[in-house]
């Protein structure tokens, strides 16, 4: 394939390589939430958008393959504005208790907010607070922290082969459910922890690991 231009530099790309893969091969950071290397491509979070010359809109890097002579910009003002707005909206509708979240500094949303210099917001959206729910015998889910990235849904189907999880309802009521959103689905879950391992935030956790002190350098969110 002819060379592709990435942030003003010509680079080689193999057939079928996505823009995200190409960027990572060359040390260019592009934020993602719905993307996971072991799962199918989804493109729902819209954090990985980049600018491609000739395209009328920003394109998702995780699912867009490179093409001959493509000119890609990953850090233009339009790209950064879009990413920051997406993170701001996620944080504004998030549970808002990062200081007490059991995910601590492992939260991918928090890391992305730091990298994009997104801090406490002057706006507040309606927050659909819900009680903690069981996901089988050993997994706890907190729907108020879920960012609807669908990683857990795809992991349950593609890695475990169970397909117990799904997205249901609309608007502020939209959430991840198990089975028919009843006790029968919880009983069918084997608590294999596959969904916990791919969750980017604190929405899913092992019951035994909750509130265990975390170590590491604290992240500082811009004010």
In the predicted model, what is the mean pLDDT of the chain?
87
Q: What is the pTM of this model?
A: 0.86
> Does residue 109 sit in the same domain as residue 123?
yes
pLDDT at 214: 67
Q: What is the mean pLDDT of residues 82-110?
A: 83
146 closest CA partner among 44, 58, 59: 44
Any domain includes 21? yes
Domain coverage including residue 100:
1-127
Tens digit of pLDDT for each residue in 32-65? 999 999 999 988 999 999 999 999 999 999 999 9
Any domain includes 223? no
Enter the tokens of residue 173: 């009521």
Strand order in the sheet with 139-141: 133-135, 139-141, 204-206
pLDDT at 126: 67
Name, in order, each residue with C-beta under 8 angstroms of 7's C-beta and a sequence gap of 6 or more: 28, 72, 73, 74, 75
Enter the tokens of residue 26: 């060359």
The answer to whether residues 89 and 147 touch, using CB atoms and an 8 Å cutoff, is no
Instruction: From 110, 127, 144, give the residue that closes a domain.
Output: 127
> Does residue 143 sit in the same domain as residue 109?
no
> Does residue 119 sit in the same domain as residue 133?
no
Cα separation, 81 vs 74, in Å, equals: 12
> Does residue 191 sit in the same domain as residue 134?
yes
> Does residue 115 sit in the same domain as residue 57?
yes
Q: 219 falls in which pLDDT band (50, 70, 90)?
A: low
Number of domains in the chain: 2
C-alpha count within 13 angstroms, C-beta hemisphere, residue 153: 19
Any domain includes 219? no
> Does residue 196 sit in the same domain as residue 94?
no
- Whether 177 has a pLDDT exceeding 90, the answer reads no
Q: 125 falls in which pLDDT band (50, 70, 90)?
A: low
* Strand, coil or helix: 168: strand
> Does residue 15 sit in the same domain as residue 116?
yes
Token pair 């072991």 is at which residue? 38
pLDDT at 5: 96
> Does residue 133 sit in the same domain as residue 93?
no
Q: 218 falls in which pLDDT band (50, 70, 90)?
A: low
Any domain includes 217? no
């Amino acid at each position: 394939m002819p060379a592709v231009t990435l942030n003003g530099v010509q680079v080689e790309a193999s057939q079928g390589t996505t823009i995200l893969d190409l960027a990572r091969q060359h040390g260019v950071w592009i934020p993602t939430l719905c993307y996971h290397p072991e799962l199918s491509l989804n493109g729902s979070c819209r954090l990985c958008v980049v600018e491609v010359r000739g395209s009328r809109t920003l394109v998702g890097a995780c699912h867009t393959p490179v093409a001959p002579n493509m000119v890609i910009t990953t850090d233009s003002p339009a790209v950064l504005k879009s990413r920051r707005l997406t993170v701001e909206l996620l944080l504004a509708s998030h549970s808002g208790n990062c200081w007490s979240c059991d995910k601590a500094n492992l939260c991918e949303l928090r890391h992305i907010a730091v990298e994009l210099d997104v801090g406490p917001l002057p706006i507040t959206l309606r927050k659909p607070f819900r009680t903690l729910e069981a996901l089988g015998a050993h997994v706890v889910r907190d729907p108020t922290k879920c960012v609807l990235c669908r990683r857990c849904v795809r992991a349950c189907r593609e890695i475990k082969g169970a397909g117990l999880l799904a997205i249901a309802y609309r608007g502020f009521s939209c959430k991840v459910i198990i089975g028919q959103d009843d006790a029968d689905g919880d009983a069918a879950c084997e608590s294999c922890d596959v969904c916990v391992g791919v969750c980017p935030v604190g929405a899913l956790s092992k019951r035994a690991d909750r509130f265990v002190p975390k170590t590491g350098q604290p992240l500082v969110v811009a004010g």
